[in-house]
Amino acid sequence: MEKIKILFVCMTDSIHVVKYMRVFENDERFDVRLFPVYFTTPHKMFTKDVNVVDIYHINKLIKFLSPKYMMKCKLYNPIINSIIPLLRKSTDVNVFENKLFEKKLYKEILKFKPDYIHSMEFQHASYMVDNVRNEILNGEYKFPRWIVSNWGSDIYLYQHIPRHLSKIKCILNNCNDYISECERDVNIAKRLGLHEDKIKLPIIPNSGWFHNNMGGYIPNNERKYIIVKGYQGWSGRSFNAIEAIKNYNHDILKDYTIILYSCSDDVKLLMNYYGSKYNINYKIVPNDTDNETLINYFKNAKLYIGLGISDGISTSLIEAMGCGAIPIQSNTSCANEWITNTRNGFIVNPYEIGCITSIIELVLKNKCLNKICLTKY
């Protein structure tokens, strides 16, 4: 039987993509391939656990533009030094880099001839596919059926930026199928012009599934971890989570360890400073830590804190809830579709640090709290 060909255009360094690809393990019906949306090393779990896909290797043209590489090759000079930042400068994505990828993607689509193209995320993957689609349609080749996945802030935030809004509307019009991780974004997509007949697939978190090792309940009073999602940057607000923890009673806090994951250097620096100054126990989890290790941290966590100005439904939030941790999640996500505030978690304004500190106090002082179950009320 001829295999069904699927080309995923995606972030090949994302753990969400790794987990999604496991759906195709040992399934001989599919020929699955991944096309990266930027220059990166594929996630280490692809080679460790997931051997079901081919990942395209693209000529490292951008490597040539790296100052470190040019110093090694003795090509670096003041003139090049002034040009490279201009080539690489962009407000959202690297335009120069994207053009190279679009050209390569165009060739690979014509060569592989997939039955389906699935772009996982909008601003990198779907924008690129839409540009290539327009180019291919000018020729004789029929463009494959196109599935679009809406990740995180893809339309919730970017709909408010005019130049992104027009592109989002084009994608919603041109795609054949639309997948979202929450009802909120389905409703936004409809308002932006998405036709009902393109919403055939169920709402599902972007990783596609949950870890099968989330069971094994540890009593609440034996849990000694507070998990903090370490995103900062343009959308994360882990600084505020750290501030809220720092403002809490240090005598009670000494019985707990703060676990930070997915941290940038500035977040690590802040935690190192507060940890030393206020004698706070903490551990920074390396960014390449596998998902199973994170799940084990979640199993021993009393609290999970995830703050940001914009998000979809955080996969780690659901995993933490599934492991029995009590979640504190910002109201700028789809958390209200999983959490009934004060019943199976807390939904907060990410900037109300005092409120977050009060919730931390409530949870840590209450030794009779029951397990928070992975249940939508």
Number of compact structural domains in the chain: 2
pLDDT in tens, 97-118: 778 889 889 988 998 999 999 9
* Residue 339, domain CATH: 3.40.50.2000
Residue in 166, 185, 183, 61 with CA at minimum distance from that of residue 121: 185
Per-residue pLDDT, 307: 96
Q: What pLDDT is recorded for position 223?
A: 93
Distance of CA 294 to the CA centre of its chain: 15
Please report the pLDDT score of residue 74 as a whole number.
40
Render pLDDT for 139-176 as a digit per residue (tens, 0 to 9): 667 899 999 999 988 999 999 999 999 999 999 999 99
CB-based contact 132:109 (threshold 8 Å): yes
For residue 276, being part of any structural domain is answered with: yes
Asked if 341 and 233 touch (Cβ cutoff 8 Å), the reply is no
Domain C-terminal end among 141, 166, 198: 198
The answer to whether residue 20 scores a pLDDT higher than 60 is: yes
What's the confidence (pLDDT) of residue 373? 42
Q: Is residue 67 part of a domain?
A: yes
| pLDDT at residue number 113 | 93
Query: Alpha helix locations (H) across the chain?
Result: 15-21, 44-48, 61-64, 67-72, 78-88, 95-112, 127-137, 162-174, 183-191, 238-246, 250-253, 265-277, 291-299, 315-322, 353-365
Q: Which residues contact 231 (CB under 8 A, 6 or more apart)?
A: 237, 238, 262, 264, 308
Query: Based on the domain organization, do 146 and 48 belong to the same domain?
Result: yes
Q: Give the pairing of strands 326-330 and 257-261.
A: unpaired
Region 227-256: what's the mean pLDDT?
92
**Rounded mean pLDDT, 295-313:** 93
Task: Answer with the one of 198, 230, 254 that is the final residue of a domain.
Answer: 198
> Are 290 and 249 in a shared domain?
yes
pLDDT in tens, 316-367: 898 999 888 999 999 988 989 999 999 899 999 999 999 999 999 999 987 6
**Spatial distance between the Cα atoms of 65 and 85, rounded to a whole number of angstroms:** 9
Q: Report the alpha-carbon distance of residue 357 to residue 354 in Å, rounded.
A: 5
- pTM of the full predicted structure? 0.83
| Structural domain harbouring 305 | 220-365
Whether 207 maps to a domain, the answer reads no
287, two tokens:
């960014």
pLDDT of residue 55: 62
Kindly state whether residues 17 and 62 are assigned to the same domain.
Answer: yes
Compute the distance between CA of residue 127 and CA of residue 119 in angstroms, rounded to an integer: 9
50 and 187 assigned to the same domain: yes
Q: Does residue 122 sit in the same domain as residue 229?
A: no
Indicate if 229 and 264 belong to the same structural domain: yes
327 within domain boundaries:
yes
Same domain, 173 and 272: no
